[in-house]
Each structure stands twice: as structure tokens, then as C-alpha cells.
Structure 1
Amino acid sequence: MLQGQVAIVTGASRGIGLAIAHALAKQGMKLVLIGSSSDIHRVGEQLKGSKTFQADVCNEQQMNEVVAETVATFGRIDLLVNNAGIGVFKPVEETTVEEWKRLFEVNVQGVFIGTKAVLPQMKKQRSGTIITVSSDVGRYTIANGSAYTATKYAVQGFSGSVAQEVRPYGIRVGTINPGMVDTYFANSTQGLPEKAEWLKAEDVAEAVVYMASAPKHMLVDEIVLHPLIQTYPVV
């Protein structure tokens, strides 16, 4: 179903974003991959035929340029995966204003800018899917994560509102909300023994493929996934 379609993936240099890129490539999609560092170009070498851009998702001009080049090259945009994100986990009184601002800049403003950038083309096509990789803490709260949790609640609200706004154009908007995932997130180390039973990046990638592959008449608003060992509030 995704064969030959065009996807833009942000935060594709490593972790969940890299796994998403590989999963979409296996589906036969044409890929435009965005990363904040030059590492993104090494991903392009792995995934032959993909286009890579070192760009800041918080920079509207850079994202508009990526979208314009995507349309110039492929003629359309079928899927945007807003995956880029950062995390800071501290008690609120230890969280700096600079950390608070940076989290909102990347996790919320980045989603807003990416979504805004692709919508004119998707509206012109009268089709498209926008998926944001958010977090399960966009549905409940955790201690020592006030800033990060606040960004994910914002993403949920933004995505839900945009979904209603663009439905008349045949555009679908949804979120993937994973729990504990074994990645490098928040300066962690991937593959630690204590993470052995956590979700893998590939698990999240498969959820993205499922949401993107849904029949055109069906909207999957939200997917929440946790490792079996994780305890969390039931909402």
C-alpha cells in the first residue's frame, strides 16, 4: 500500500527515527530524511535512493526548503513523520528556563513547523498522512518530567485539533505514544541490560507503518504501546 509513496521523516539519524526510515524503505517508499547533524548523510548511504538533509526542525525556513525540494523532486508528499524530539527529566525547581524553552522549541514548535510546511501540498493533493511520535506521558503525568510531559500534552492537543481541521481534505493526523523504548533518548545508552525487556525502536517503527498503511477511509487517531513490564496509570 505504501509502495512508491513519498515520506519525510525527521530525527532520522538514529534511534526510533532511523528504525522508521528502514521500515518505510522496506515498504518501498521514497524517503526524505532529516537530521540535525551530519550523521544523517550516513543514513542516506545505507538507504540508497533516499534524500537526506541536515536541517533544524525548529527553523521554518529550513523546513520549508526541504519540503519545496521534496515536491520539486517527487511531485508530492504522502507521509510526514514528526519524530525529532528531546527529553530533560528533573524536578521542576532544577529545570532551567533555557531547558524548558528548548524542549518546547523542539518537541512542540518543531511539530508545528513540519506540519505547517507540508499541509499546502497535501491539501493540493487532497491526501496525506501526518504522524507524530509523541509519548505515553502525553496521556498521564510523571514525576521529574514536568517540562517533557507538558510538551507531549501540547502535541496531543495540537494533533487532535489539526486532525479535525484537515479531514475535509482527505488528510489524516495521528500520534504514536510509546512507553519505555531502548534508544539513546535523553543521553541514555542503547542496549543496557536493564533495558532488555523495553520496547525496541523497531516496535515503534512498525506502529508507524500500521498507521500509515490504514485504508484511506480509516483514521487511526492514536496508538499507545508499552513493554509488558512497564507499569503505568490506566486512563
Structure 2
Amino acid sequence: MLNKQVAIVTGASRGIGKEIAQQLLEEEVKLTIVGSSDGIKETGQQLRDLGFQDVLAIQADISKESDVIRVVEETIAAYGKIDLLVNNAGIGFFKSTEEVTEEEWSRIFEVNVQGVFLCSKAVLPHMKKQKFGTIITISSDVARYTISNASAYVATKYAVQGFCGSLAQEVREHGIRVGTVNPGMVDTYFANSTQGIPEKEDWLKVTDIASAVVYMASAPKHMMIDEMILHPFAQDYPIA
């Protein structure tokens, strides 16, 4: 279903984004991966070493419009189109509201919200032109309920959920689908934690999230999957 499509995946240097990239490449997608550090180049080479040749790795700050425009222009130059955008880049931390600085508040909104807005906005003209496209944003289960000591992070995910819901209604007439994947606890590097430690043994794996993305992106053109919420059995959470 996805072969010959062209995709952009942000936040792809490691963790969930890197796994999404690999699973999309296994579906014969031509791919641009984006990361804020020079580690994205290493990830690109690692994927090429696995035998995937259609991998363009770009270092960029997705909170800056000029960087996002450059990513889209280089993708179009390399592949001629954009069919799929996966907004995966994001940051998070656990602090009480009193501990959060103005700089931290601004930065988390720049990456988690503004980045989703800028990337989505930049691909829309190309998707509208071809009357087809899919935009998938990795959000969080806390886009549906709140937790303590994470007010800044939770606020960004509520904003993302609202943005994606509104955008989905706005662009459906152009054949563009917009959806979110909202995971609970995932064994990754979130909030500067360590992946693979024993206490995360029963958490969701990055492969689970990537598989959900591939499933959503592979849905037939007549189907919209607005949202997928994923939890490990080990997680207790409020019932919405």
C-alpha cells in the first residue's frame, strides 16, 4: 500500500522516529528523515547500511520556518512529491508548574506545537496539488486527560490534538487525511530517560508505535483513522 510513496519523518535520529523510518523503508517508501542534531546523518547512514538507499537525512530545527521550508524543498528536489508526513519530533519534562521557566515553556511549545504546525503547513500545497496525502502526528495519551507535574507537556498535547482535529476537517475536501497516534508509556528516551531499563520492560515498545503509524498510513483512500490511543497493560490511566 505504501510502496512508491514519499514520506518525511521528523525527530528520526533515534527512538520512535528511527523505528518509524525503518518500518516505512521496509514498505518501500522513499524517505526524508529530519533531526535537530548531527546524529541524523549517522542514522541515515545506518539505514543505508541496512540496504535502504532512498534515505535523505537532513539536520533541521522544525520550530524554524526557514528550516522546514528547506526540508520540503530538498525532499521535492530528491523525490518529486510528498505523500506522507509523520510529525514525531517532540520534547518533554516532568516539573511542577512553579519550577517551569519561561524559556522551558516557550521551547516546548516551539517544538511540540509550532513544529507540527510549520511542517504540516509546508507540505499542504504539495498534497493539495496531487489531491492526496496523509499527515500523522505522534501525540500522547495525555492529550485526552491530565497528569500532575507535566503541565507544560500536557498543554502542548492538548494543543496538538485540537490543531490536528481542525486541520483534518479543513483539508479533507482535498483528499488529505490527518490523524494522531497517542501512546501511553513507551520504552524510549522521553524526558532524558534511558531506553531498555528493567522498569520499562512491560511498557510499549518503539516497534508498537511505528507499526501503528504504518497501519494508519496504509489505510485505503476512502478511510480516515482520526486517532489511535495505545496503552500497555501495565499502565493505569483515567477512563475518558
TM normalised by structure 1 equals: 0.99
**Rounded Cα–Cα distance in structure 2 between residues aligned with 1:69 and 1:183:** 29
SS of corresponding position for 1:131: strand
Percent same amino acid at aligned positions?
Answer: 67
Q: Tell whether 2:93 aligns with 1:88.
A: yes
CA RMSD of aligned residues (A): 0.6
**Rounded Cα–Cα distance in structure 1 between residues aligned with 2:15 and 2:185:** 13
CA deviation digits over 1:169-197, x for unaligned, max 9? 00000000000000111100011110000
**Rounded Cα–Cα distance in structure 2 between residues aligned with 1:208 and 1:73:** 23
2:9 is aligned with what amino acid? V
SS of corresponding position for 1:229: coil
Q: Tell whether 2:160 aligns with 1:137.
A: no
SS of corresponding position for 2:165: helix
Corresponding residue number in structure 2 for 1:185:
190
1:170 is aligned with what amino acid? G
**Rounded Cα–Cα distance in structure 2 between residues aligned with 1:103 and 1:39:** 21
1:1-235 alignment, distance < 5 Å: 1-48=1-48, 49=53, 50-235=55-240
Question: Structure 1 runs of 4+ off > 3 angstroms?
Answer: none
1:51 is aligned with what amino acid? L
| Stretches of structure 2 lacking an aligned partner (at least 5 in a row) | none
Task: Report how far residue 46 of structure 1 moved.
Answer: 1.9
2:128 is aligned with what amino acid? K
Contact 1:88–1:99 at 8 Å: present in 2 too? no
More off after superposition, 43-52 vs 23-32: 43-52
CA deviation digits over 1:14-44, x for unaligned, max 9? 0100010011011110010000111111111
| Stretches of structure 1 lacking an aligned partner (at least 5 in a row) | none
2:149 is aligned with what amino acid? N
**Rounded Cα–Cα distance in structure 1 between residues aligned with 2:70 and 2:60:** 10
**Rounded Cα–Cα distance in structure 2 between residues aligned with 1:126 and 1:5:** 14
SS of corresponding position for 2:224: coil
**Rounded Cα–Cα distance in structure 2 between residues aligned with 1:124 and 1:137:** 34
**Rounded Cα–Cα distance in structure 1 between residues aligned with 2:44 and 2:5:** 18
Number of residue pairs the alignment of both structures matches: 235
